[in-house]
Amino acid sequence: MAERITKNLRQALAPSRLEVIDESHQHQGHGGWREGGETHFRVIVVSEAFAGKSRLDRHRLVNAALVQELADRVHALAIVAKAPGEA
């Protein structure tokens, strides 16, 4: 799943920085968790595509790139989305 997320975000947003972190182990036994993990992710994305966009619009772009993954196995997605040069 992490590879699918990485591939789709690279294709959709051409990020200069991308981290995909599987945090499923932190949610074992909680809602949405499944045996084998790959249910809870954090993504850190820095892309020119986010320049001039609101936080909500940035999250919408990420969610749109991952629509199939979110419908499939991913239960939770934490997003950090920034334009280059933002702190």
DSSP 52-70: T--HHHHHHHHHHHTHHHH
82 CB neighbour count, 10 Å cutoff: 18
Say what the pTM is: 0.87
Q: 4-63 pLDDT, tens per residue? A: 999 999 999 999 999 999 988 665 556 655 555 678 899 999 999 999 999 999 999 999
Domains of the chain and any CATH numbers: 2-82 (3.30.300.90)
∠28-3-52 over CA atoms, to 5°? Answer: 95
User: Length of the chain, please?
Assistant: 87
Q: In this structure, are residues 41 and 23 in contact, taking their beta carbons and an 8 Å threshold? A: yes
CA distance 25 to 83: 29
Q: In this structure, are residues 53 and 79 in contact, taking their beta carbons and an 8 Å threshold? A: no
Q: In this structure, are residues 11 and 68 in contact, taking their beta carbons and an 8 Å threshold? A: no
